[in-house]
Amino acid sequence: MGEQSRQGTSWGIVVGFDDSPASIAAVDWAAATAQRWGTTLTVMHSVDLAAAPLDPAYDLARLPDSLGEAGRDLLAEGVARARRLMTDPTQVTGLSVLGAPAAELVHASQEADLVVTGSRGRGPLTAGLLGSVAYAVTAHAACPAVVVRTEPTVLPGREHPVIVGVDDSPGAERALDLAAEMAAISDAALHIVYVAHSAFSPDALAYVESAKAGTEHTKAVRGHAEKTVRRAADRARAAFAGLTIETEVLYGRAGRVLSPLGAHAGLIVVGSRGHGGFAGLLLGSVSHTVIHEAPCPVMVARG
């Protein structure tokens, strides 16, 4: 099966697999992306010791044979699925580990280019459920992390642009660079969006931005936003000549504004200001709002 160890290995793209519909979608997306990148894919299955009644607790020598065998079978299933989706099956390997899935994926992210997880739900209700694997991995991963929905797997392409949210932060530059790369390898358009915070409703904004009603403040906000997206477009164009680029300035709460754009997108890319620990677990941040509410895959680019 090509199972690999942790020692001295670069894992390329790492995807978690447990045979759930969410993890199947994640494997499909990760395999397609590894094919486009021309990189290796590591399918990881974690045997969670918290689910295994051991006596004494966590004595690995007493791990039930049935649990280990089931884990190996699941991993083989995930590897076989990924290999069917890639031109070179030798680019896919399996990794079986003992531990909590989120913790093991975060650990693997230290040696990975990208870590991919599935999501079992979306919307405001599921956004409040702390402890999900996808939530924890995006909060703590050392490399970019992607969350994939259980709906039919969507990939960036001519009909599905890559959307990236930008502002003035270093994390936004990292997100822009990754979004431009994803668009370039996918023959997709890059849609750069700056979301300016505003207390106005969209209808009110259309009024205050008119030639007669616009204030110095609203004009300054829009001027800064337009300068930011132009600068972002220039940066992406310099890195990937010929890339189709669209820019847009919108208003509101960034996460809530960006999420619906995923209805027709192949990927939304956002930066993250979190640094792990409690800073990485603040509900309401742009990145966490988008991963819970956007209908398409979401990449969180840690600065």
The DSSP result for 273-286, as a single string, is ---SGGGGG-TT-H
pLDDT, average across residues 120-139: 61
Residue-level pLDDT at 157: 96
Cα dist. 94→10, 11, 118, 272 in Å? 13, 10, 17, 29
How many helices (H) does the chain have, and how many strands (E)? 10, 10
- Which DSSP category does 177 fall into? H
CATH number, domain of 223, equals 3.40.50.620
pLDDT at 46: 87
245: DSSP letter? E
End-of-domain residue from the set 113, 148, 183? 148
More confident: 42 or 140: 42
Instruction: Give the dihedral of Cα atoms 52, 58, 62, 66; nearest 10 deg.
Output: 20
- Is 197 among the domain residues? yes
Ramachandran assignment for 276, one of left (phi > 0), alpha (psi -120 to 50 degrees), beta (any other): left
Residue 256 CA to residue 197 CA, distance in Å, equals 11
- Asked if 171 and 144 sit in the same domain, the reply is no
The confidence score (pLDDT) of residue 200 equals 53
Ranges assigned E (strand) in 5-112:
13-16, 41-47, 92-98
Domain-located, residue 177: yes
Q: How confident is the model at residue 26 (pLDDT cuts 50, 70, 90)?
A: very high
267-272, strands of its sheet edge to edge: 92-98, 41-47, 13-16, 114-118, 145-148, 298-302, 267-272, 162-165, 190-196, 245-251
- In degrees and rounded to multiples of 5, residue 44 shows phi and psi of -110, 130
Compute CA distances 6 → 76, 108, 125, whole Å: 18, 8, 37
- Lowest mean pLDDT: which of 11-15, 150-154, 184-188? 150-154
- Do 290 and 255 contact (CB within 8 A), yes or no? yes
Residues 82, 206 within the same domain = no
Q: 121 falls in which pLDDT band (50, 70, 90)?
A: low
Binning pLDDT at 50, 70 and 90, where does residue 107 land? very high
- Highest mean pLDDT, choosing among 121-125, 163-167, 201-205: 163-167
In angstroms, the CA 166 to CA 230 distance is: 11
Specify the pLDDT at position 274.
Answer: 53
Higher pLDDT, 48 or 164: 164
Q: Is residue 251 part of a domain?
A: yes
**pLDDT value at position 219?**
78
pLDDT tens per residue across span 251-296: 888 999 999 999 999 999 999 865 444 344 443 478 888 988 999 9
Q: Among 53-57, 77-81, 183-187, 220-224, where is mean pLDDT lowest? A: 53-57
- What is the rounded distance in angstroms from the CA atom of residue 114 to the CA atom of residue 144? 5
Same-domain check for residues 95 and 203: no
pTM of the prediction?
Answer: 0.83
- Considering the domain architecture, whether residues 38 and 81 belong to the same structural domain is answered as yes
Statement: residue 168 has pLDDT above 60: yes
Domain count, the chain: 2
Residues 40 and 18: their CA atoms lie apart, in Å, by 20
- Does pLDDT of 226 surpass 60? yes
CB 43, CB 133: distance < 8 Å: no
pLDDT at position 1, please? 44
Look-up of token digits 């829009």: 222
Would residue 157 count as lying in a domain?
Answer: no
Q: Is the pLDDT of residue 9 over 70?
A: no
Q: What is the model's pLDDT at position 153?
A: 78
Domain boundary among 148, 178, 202: 148
Top-confidence residue, 277 or 53: 53
Mean pLDDT of 167-191: 94
Residue 167 CA to residue 64 CA, distance in Å, equals 51
Rounded CA gap, 258 and 246, in Å? 15
* Closest listed residue to residue 162, CA positions, set 187, 185, 186, 183: 183
> Which of 148, 175, 208 corresponds to the end of one domain?
148
| Domain carrying residue 175 | 162-302
Say if residue 118 is in the same domain as residue 214. no
Whether residue 59 is predicted with pLDDT greater than 80 in this model: the reply is no
Within the chain, strands assigned E span 13-16, 41-47, 92-98, 114-118, 145-148, 162-165, 190-196, 245-251, 267-272, 298-302
189 and 59: one domain? no
Assigned domain for 168 exists: yes
Using alpha carbons, list the distances in angstroms from residue 173 to 140, 147, 226: 19, 20, 16
Whether 279 and 187 share a structural domain: yes
